[in-house]
Amino acid sequence: MKKKYKIIPDMKFRSCLTVNPFRIEELNIAKKGIWYFRFGLQAFELKVETSDEIAIDELHLSIDVIDQAGIPLDSQYEITIFGNEIIIGPYIGILATHEQSRLEELLYASYSKYIYDYPAIGGAILIFSLEGVDTKNDIIEGFMYNPVTDIWEKGQYCYPSSIFKTISMNKELRSFFQTKYKDRIFNIYNFNKWQMYDWLSNISTVKDYLPETYLYKKVNNIESLIVKHEELYIKPIYGSRGRGIFKVSNLQGKYKISYDKNDGKQEVIVNSIVELLEFLESQIKHKAYIIQRAIVPQMIDERMVDYRMILTKDQSGNWKENGLVSRLGMTGNITSNISTGGEAEDGETILQKSFGIDAHESFRLHKKMREVAFEAALGLEKSGVHCGNLGIDMLLGKDQQIWIIEINNINPNALIMVRVGDRNQYYKVKLANMLYAKKLAGFSEEEA
């Protein structure tokens, strides 16, 4: 447990930090010379003084620095020393949405859950929108958490030390944030389904777990593929929640196209490849799609079963699994997405049910799935994406072969944990995200 400090405004001096002599020794900041005081991306040159009259858990900071840096005074801060810098924090930003107008509603509806365990995080936590970033003046308009009043305070603040990004954004903005933040922002790039396959299929430890996937092209490879694989999925590159997915089955000369509508499964039978292509073109229009070999999963009562594993990095920076949930589709549906009427259940329970195995065997299978998921996460990072929070969708074949179908890194929703009754696991995911941001801000776990 790192020591926490309160910042007390000091009216007497300018550019000065005064600390209890005991702490000065302990923090190893007794040396004379130049010090910089850092809060977020801002640093201020100041001198360090010592005084017996200061309580051991207080930092007296001259008011000019407090004003310029905009340091919230109700927060509890930790200190780290890096070279000639005294860093207080963590100062973490959550980039929550594009539009400023949506911030307030999101704050209390969902983002407050990130700080349920504020004492474990500490420091200053700012929630902001892309619109609130004033790149000319290096100011962010957003909401800062006040742990004393439990209220988010609207205001203008300086740039935080690290950013947890939960939305997608364009290339210019990505470069802007990369320039400012380097590796202290995570989830900066949001890959699509094709990129995921294209990158991971080059990684030897992962490629065997990916169903063959192709980019959908107009004059097409579909003909040879449908002969080769019998059943194919055609999925939008950017889609989520199972929307816009078609399943094509080869019925020897005829082709069946199935897709989910709100009220259940739709089926169309066409008599030739030409008709098939025409149908798909009319549905797909100009959007980018992939073609994926359909894996026949182990089902339960004719319901599709897939699994979502949630991976997070925590304050140590290591990947951890935060739960395995299985999703059961509606009978006959082509996906198991819960937004189209499916159900969620505890992953191991469904592993046991669907394969008729005991808790020992499901433990083993679960472990194997976790190892595959970790390899995929490492593979994505080798491909240049800094991740901290992944939702990995997997299928299991009848032979218990593991298939990675999709990976979501735009803040995958852990709310599914609540559906299976594990509300604490849901909070743990949110806390892990914040603790990883804390690490990136320069406040890593203490060494043992």
Partner 1 sequence: MLMIKQDPSLLQSEISIPMTLNNQPHEPVRRVVFHFGQWQRDFLVRYRDDSEQQIGLPENLDLPFQIPLNLKYQVKLDGHHLILGPVVGFITNQKKENLAPKGLNISYRYMRLLDDNGLTFICAVDGINVKEQTIEGYYYSHNDEEPWKKGVFPFPAALYRRATVPNSLYSELVNIMGDEIFNSYPFNKWETWDWLSSNPELRRHLPYTERFSSVQVLDSMLSRFGTVYAKQENGKASENLFKISKEMQAYHVFDSEGKEQILPEEKAEEFFSSFIKKKYILQQEIEVSRYEGRHIDFRMIMQKDGNQQWGCTAIITKFGERNGITTIVSDSGFALSGENALRKVFKLNRKQTFRKLEEMTSICIEMCKALERTGGHYADLGVDLMIDKNLKVWILEINNKLPDHSMPFDFLKDANLLQKVLSTPLEYARARAGF
Residues found near partner 1 in the complex (CB under 8 A) = 1, 116-117, 119-120, 316, 318, 348, 358-364, 367, 423-424, 427-428, 431, 446, 448
Give the nearest distance from C-beta 448 to partner 1 in angstroms: 5
Q: Are 150 and 346 in contact (CB under 8 A)?
A: no
Count of positions (residues) in the chain? 448
Give the nearest distance from C-beta 314 to partner 1 in angstroms: 9
Nearer to partner 1, 246 or 319 (CB): 319
Q: What are phi and psi of 219, to 5 degrees?
A: -90, 115
Q: Is 236 helix (H, G, I), strand (E, B) or coil?
A: strand
Angle between helix 193-200 and helix 359-382 axes, rounded to 10 deg:
90
Q: Which residue has the tokens 């743990």?
A: 428
Q: For residue 217, how many C-alpha atoms fall within 13 Å in the half-sphere facing its CB?
A: 9
Residue 169 Cα distances to 97, 172, 187, 287, angstroms: 10, 8, 11, 19
Nearer to partner 1, 117 or 131 (CB): 117
**Bridge partner list, 305:** 328
Give the nearest distance from C-beta 375 to partner 1 in angstroms: 14
Give the nearest distance from C-beta 445 to partner 1 in angstroms: 8
Give the nearest distance from C-beta 155 to partner 1 in angstroms: 25
Give the nearest distance from C-beta 370 to partner 1 in angstroms: 11
Nearer to partner 1, 158 or 311 (CB): 311
Q: Which two tokens stand for residue 125?
A: 């936590």
Residue 342 Cα distances to 46, 242, 313, 326, angstroms: 59, 11, 29, 10
Give the nearest distance from C-beta 147 to partner 1 in angstroms: 12
Nearer to partner 1, 318 or 331 (CB): 318
Residue 408 Cα distances to 54, 168, 308, 312, 413, angstroms: 49, 12, 10, 12, 9
Give the nearest distance from C-beta 162 to partner 1 in angstroms: 21
Residue 251 Cα distances to 229, 281, 290, 312, angstroms: 12, 20, 21, 43
Q: Alpha-carbon distance 317 to 375, whole Å?
A: 15
Nearer to partner 1, 13 or 427 (CB): 427
Q: Are 186 and 436 in contact (CB under 8 A)?
A: yes
∠ CA(325), CA(428), CA(76), 5° rounding? 165
Give the nearest distance from C-beta 117 to partner 1 in angstroms: 5
Q: Which helix (H) or strand (E) is 292 found in, with range?
A: strand 289-293
Q: Alpha-carbon distance 310 to 322, whole Å?
A: 5
Secondary structure string (H, E, C) spanning 293-336: ECCCECCECCECEEEEEEEEECCCCCEEEEEEEEEECCCCCCCC
Give the nearest distance from C-beta 437 to partner 1 in angstroms: 16
Nearer to partner 1, 260 or 314 (CB): 314
Nearer to partner 1, 117 or 153 (CB): 117
